[in-house]
Chain A
Amino acid sequence: MHAFVAIVLTIITASTPLLLAALGELVAERSGVLNLGVEGMMVMGAVCGFGAAHLTGSVGVGIIVAIIAGVVMSLLFGLLTLTLVTNQVATGLALTLLGLGLSGVIGESFVGQPGVKLASIHIPGLSDIPVIGPLVFSQDVLVYFSLALAAAVAWVLFATRAGLIIRAVGDSHASAHALGYNVIAVRYLCVMFGGACAGLAGGYLSLAYTPSWIENMTAGRGWIALALVVFASWRPARVVIGAYLFGTVMILGFYVQSLGLGIPSQFLSSLPYIVTVVALVVISGNRTLTRANTPAALAQPFVPDR
């Protein structure tokens, strides 16, 4: 039972960065923008958050700096794809390459440095209940935040005018523009939200999950988050399920390794990536579902006529 609790705890912390990054990208994609730079924004969030926390000794500062790093990267992306109307796929790749390179440079002096860990909360009484206590009431603050964020994103998207505008812009930017909405501004805001979430997700990795900085520590999680959004058919509730599913696959792989069953560790490490591909195939193969849910204007360039 103790092992079970430990495993589930790890699954929760493994899934949280995926959930955060995927929620941010979901909002961006709902507005019609495909940002493949999630990996780059995430790793920049990780290194900047770690560095800031290490230098100031404060996790809170680290988290804020991680978010800012993500937003700054996303602004760069927005400047190119929204104002200069560059190809979204190529620009997203460029953002990832830049993020990976820049984080390597910034992080060089932080490799091997001790980290500052985000503490878990402790509710007296509730946290002490066996099994449920540690699992439900003793997570760190960002775990609860990520779930609340999922609920908030769902509510905003489907029950408010702002969310309706976002969905409209993602469905037909031409119609939204004709109705007088500022498509570019809406997309900038959504892209920045995506950047903030990706930065926060990266910060979570280096401040809560494994409080340290290792080069390229995101190890493809940003890409998995992108696949998650497709897998969830752009719906926040399904993103939560998907994130925890992938987190489970990742952690079970480590767990099976530790059992010493003779399965090569590399195979187990490759499971999350293979499962991602399989999940993509399953969802994309259902053309009706895909066509009905994909934001129609996704990745289409938009230049307002005057």
Chain B
Amino acid sequence: MAAATGDKAKAWLLEASRIVKRFGGLVANDEVTLRVAPGEIHALLGENGAGKSTLVKIIYGSLQPNAGELIWKGEPVAIANPAAARDLGIGMVFQHFSLFEALTVAENIALALAGPYDLAALSERISRVSGEYGLPLVPSAVVADLSVGERQRIEIVRCLLQEPRLLIMDEPTAVLTPQEADQLFITLKRLAGEGCAVLYISHRLEEVKGLCHNATILRHGKVVAEVDPRKETANSLARLMVGGDVHAIKPSHADTAGSTLLCLNGLNLPADGPFGVALKDVHLNVHAGEVVAVAGVAGNGQGELFVALSGERTATPGDAIAMAGSPCAGLGINARRALGAAFVPEERLGHGAVPGFTLSQNVVLTRHSGKDGLATGAFVDYARATRLTEEISRKYDVRKGKPDPEARALSGGNLQKFVMGRELDREPKILIVNQPTWGVDAGAAALIRQALIDLARAGSAVLVISQDLDEIFEIADRIAVISRGELSDAEPAGAMTTERIGLLMAGAHEKARQPVAEAV
């Protein structure tokens, strides 16, 4: 572990020294040491499950370490809870926001701040500070109406109002367009210039190289390196994170596209409730043998597109969606499965699988109907479901502990491999998947992405909805962008750049509107 400096007189802002944290038998943090200087943007790198979130939760007081100590401005401290962390001057912007949808921006921020309850004064401060730092907010807006990027601003401004000395950010750009991310970097650099340190968790190596002064790399709960990312390459950082060469995906782009297996022909779907996104005039063709990706930042209609494609919501007219040549927009999900389609939703627990059901019961979930189904009579063939579970677990390397555990006992990566495998096992002609490797460790992610490519090369049409641009560039032949329920034209991946995707995310493709009387 490279020592950052031998100068004992250097005043570290925060020193986490030999932190140990166990959850049952799992050692999430194993003698982790981290040092952050004032005004430093410090990256915390590691793949899913490396222990980054655990470490920062300890620093923020949400968790207590089993051993080790925290030293703040040279003095050992015990951070008992988030309020104590905030008193010290530590702020945190979580990856999953702690917001209240039914309340306004001002009310949300008031809940995070101590002091007398004066919404009017607070609203004024919010307007001022958010504007100053380039993250404008309307204090009276209801959170439910805001985009994901705007919600993140609430979290950030909430921290800024407390004048932090250390700001912890957990995967902040996962929910931002490239342009919004650039704006965020400007804000962070300004903060650093004012002497506020930033602890920046990410797995986006290019970003980290451009932004951070120092990086601590975790693997399996231990610190494996402390480097200056500006002097490293993305590859060397990746190798440090994963501990070996990253499995290279065989790109093998499709040379010729086959017949159109999935056709979206002007699909319109009204929003489902006051907080949903309407799909407007969506056109897309996916051919046999290719992988088409739909890129986009969360909250732009990805979920809506998925349920329209799967049949969980039906649409009119019937030929707005065609699978294997048959119009199916009005058909239910099992009718579409009978046409040869398979689906993998974003949420594996609660949508793709029932958490409290065993794996064999979860196989029945999507495989009961149809001529080869597990419930051809009225009875369910649980014996065959169990055999299928074994086959799927073997083929897709699902590590499960016991022969037939409950779905929620599996780790994210293993459950995702199982859910994928359950569908791939049917050799579907069309596969539609939403966020294939969200929250999944690198090994499982590589396996899943390769499986998607292999399925396409075997002649199926694969549609991948993803927020992860790195993943999209790895596996897609063509890329379309969804923004506010509208889909851009799918362009060949080779011709696409991050900039262009960013512009499309911001809506550059939205159809020009006719001049309307209201312009008066």
User: Which A residues lie at the B interface, using CB under 8 A?
Assistant: 160-161, 164-165, 167-168, 171-172, 174-176, 178-181, 287-288, 291-292, 295-296
Contact = CB atoms under 8 A, between A and B. Distances in A.
B89 interface: no
A292 to B, nearest CB: 6
A296 B101 CA distance: 9
Chain B interface, DSSP helix/strand/loop, else mixed:
loop
B101 A171 contact: yes
Interface residues of B, number: 20
A171 B103 contact: yes
B98 to A, nearest CB: 4
Q: Most chain-B Cβ atoms within 10 A of its Cβ — which of A179, A291, A296?
A: A179
Chain A interface, DSSP helix/strand/loop, else mixed:
helix
B435 interface: no
Given A175-B98, A179-B98, A180-B82, A164 B103 contact: yes
B244 interface: no
B110 A161 contact: yes
B82 A291 contact: no
16 contacts: A160-B117, A161-B110, A161-B117, A164-B103, A164-B107, A167-B100, A172-B99, A175-B98, A175-B99, A179-B82, A179-B112, A181-B111, A288-B273, A288-B274, A291-B273, A296-B102
B98 A178 contact: yes
B62 A292 contact: no
Contacts of A161: 110, 117
A165 B274 contact: no
A215 to B, nearest CB: 42
Nearest to B117: A161
A233 to B, nearest CB: 12
A239 B111 CA distance: 27
A180 B103 contact: no
B102 A167 contact: yes
B80 to A, nearest CB: 10
Interface string B86-129: 00000000100111111100010011100001000000000000
Nearest to A177: B98
Given A178-B94, A180-B82, A164 B117 contact: yes
B273 A171 contact: no
B111 A171 contact: no
A91 to B, nearest CB: 20
B100 A175 contact: yes
A164 B110 contact: yes
A167 to B, nearest CB: 7
B225 interface: no
Contacts of B112: 179
A292 B276 CA distance: 12
Contacts of A295: 102
Contacts of A176: 98, 100, 111
Contact of B273 (A165, A178, A287): A287
A171 B98 contact: no
Give the top 5 A-B pairs by smallest Cβ distance, nearest first.
A175-B98, A178-B98, A161-B117, A171-B100, A180-B82
B103 A168 contact: yes
Given A167-B103, A171-B100, 20 more contacts: A164-B103, A164-B110, A164-B117, A168-B107, A168-B111, A172-B98, A172-B100, A172-B101, A175-B98, A176-B98, A178-B62, A178-B94, A179-B82, A179-B98, A179-B112, A180-B81, A180-B82, A180-B83, A288-B274, A292-B102
A175 B101 CA distance: 10
A84 B102 CA distance: 28
Contacts of A296: 101-102
Nearest to B86: A180
Nearest to A163: B117
Nearest to B94: A178
A136 to B, nearest CB: 35
A165 B111 CA distance: 7
Contacts of A288: 273-274
Nearest to B111: A168
Nearest to B273: A291
A287 B274 CA distance: 9
Contact of B111 (A164, A174, A287): A164
A161 B274 CA distance: 27
B54 to A, nearest CB: 12
A288 B107 CA distance: 22
A99 to B, nearest CB: 32
A291 B273 CA distance: 8
Interface string B63-77: 000000000000000
Contacts of A160: 117
Given A160-B117, A180-B82, A180-B83, A174 B98 contact: yes
Contacts of B274: 288, 291-292
B101 to A, nearest CB: 6
Contacts of A179: 82, 98, 111-112
B94 A168 contact: no
B106 to A, nearest CB: 10
Q: Most chain-B Cβ atoms within 10 A of its Cβ — which of A168, A287, A291?
A: A168
B116 to A, nearest CB: 8
Contacts of B94: 178
A294 to B, nearest CB: 9
A184 B463 CA distance: 44
Contacts of A172: 98-101
Interface string B241-279: 000000000000000000000000000000001110000
B94 to A, nearest CB: 7
Contacts of B275: 291
Q: Most chain-A Cβ atoms within 10 A of its Cβ — which of B103, B110, B111, B112?
A: B111
Contacts of B83: 180
A164 B101 CA distance: 13
B90 to A, nearest CB: 13
A168 B273 contact: no
